[in-house]
Amino acid sequence: MERVEAAVRRAVDLLGGMGAYVRPGQRVLLKPNLVRPAPPERAVSTHPAVVAAVARLVAEAGGHAVIVESPGGPYSSGVLRSLYRRTGMDRAAEASGAELNEDTSAQQVSLPEGVALRRLDVVQPALDADVIINLPKLKTHNLTTLTLAVKNLFGLVPGATKIGYHAKLADRALFSQGMLDILVYLRPTLHIMDAVLAMEGNGPSGGDPRQVSTVLASPDALALDVAAAALVGFDPLGVSTTAAAVERGLTTGGVEDLDLLGEPLDELRVAGFRRGINAAVDPGLVPHWAVRFLGADGEHQTLFQAVSTGWLGKQLVAYPRAGGACTGCGFCTRHCPVNAITVVDHRARMDTRACIRCYCCHELCPEDAVELRRTLLGRVLTGV
């Protein structure tokens, strides 16, 4: 834990120290990734050692740190207390003097400049904070490829309200634009990423821990996301939120355009970081031979789009299915944004015709019982 704190301090010091971002007397919201109540060793959530280290820096700068999260599903004080206990946030707060938020009120605000969202539901503590410090976890994600700084802010949309956002922003690109709308509205002051014990494979909650042993920090969420993707060998433009930001002109998406401090990126890169079973139809997720055959990287992108969104696209798309661990509890049924799940004979049944592949069921299942499957041809084409 001492090594983690030293790494957090060094990362922030390279950016001018916490005093450059927090003034005495300010209320500082710390937003970790606490998508599910899982223990730290599962790598599902931002590690409590990282959160505690940041909270101590805030206190040293004279600020008051408040740990705030709104996980998917029910949003109540009892749910939050259980979440904090299971993820180790209670210990982080006790060790650092941070406050654990239990205020579950929210407001709807106007986003007149929004691209995908013109109104936003946001938890009240985010509106009350003087400063927001974003504490994402480096993980794969079955919808956006990676969940990084931009995506983590979706956790400030209250509880099950997120379901409606998934339904409204069913298209991957549109969903990513919505995430950027949230970023632009909230404007966090600083982003500090836990890439100590990351998650590879079927993230954001069903993947496998992977030691990366790095802490990344930046006042720019998009710069941080570009660096994080490069760190694990992913094309930054393959992360849908970064690609959407490039379309808006918010970033170039190029690592070469970043002003990197600290250890050289080449010395920190991780080889063989496994992707999830991402269902998005994107040339970056299709074998090179298929890309060339369909003309996706040349002048015939329309052909690729037409084929990939038709029959072939259905082979590339992963659909959720309840596995043997399903108890028929109905949690996925209650939180499916398009009501595509029913419970039959104590087992969840997914209607693939209605499913929008938001993967909320996979992400939120309390039993880790939801599996993501492709057809045999889909597995051959994608290699996963």
- Which CATH fold would you assign to the domain 2-268? Rossmann fold (3.40.50)
Structure tokens at 85: 């206990």
Half-sphere exposure of 341 (CA within 13 A, CB side): 28
Which pairing describes strands 64-67 and 99-100: parallel, antiparallel, or unpaired? parallel
Q: What is the pLDDT along the chain (384 residues), one digit of tens a residue?
A: 899 999 999 999 999 999 999 999 999 999 999 998 999 999 999 999 999 999 999 999 999 999 999 988 788 999 999 999 999 999 999 999 999 999 999 999 999 899 999 899 999 999 999 999 999 999 998 789 999 999 999 999 998 888 788 777 878 899 999 999 999 999 999 999 999 999 998 888 888 999 999 999 999 999 999 999 999 999 999 999 999 999 999 999 999 999 999 999 999 999 999 998 654 433 333 343 444 444 433 344 444 444 444 555 566 567 899 999 999 999 999 999 889 999 999 999 999 888 877 778 988 899 989 998 877 766 665 455
Cα separation, 21 vs 6, whole angstroms: 19
Half-sphere exposure of 205 (CA within 13 A, CB side): 23
Report which of 210, 188, 191, 190 is spatially closest to residue 148, judged by C-alpha positions.
191
What confidence score (pLDDT) does residue 43 get?
97
Cα separation, 232 vs 200, whole angstroms: 10
Say if pTM beats, i.e. exceeds, 0.85. no
What confidence score (pLDDT) does residue 72 get?
80
Give the list of residues 6+ apart from residue 126 with CB closer than 8 angstroms, or none.
29, 31, 68, 132, 156, 186
CB environment 159-168: b (16+ within 10 A), e (fewer): bbbbbebbee
Q: Is-same-fold flag (2-268; 283-382)?
A: no
What confidence score (pLDDT) does residue 278 get?
54
All structural domains of the chain with their residue ranges: 2-268, 283-382
Q: Pick one of 3.30.70.20, 3.40.228.10, 3.20.20.70, 3.30.70.60 as the CATH number of 283-382.
A: 3.30.70.20
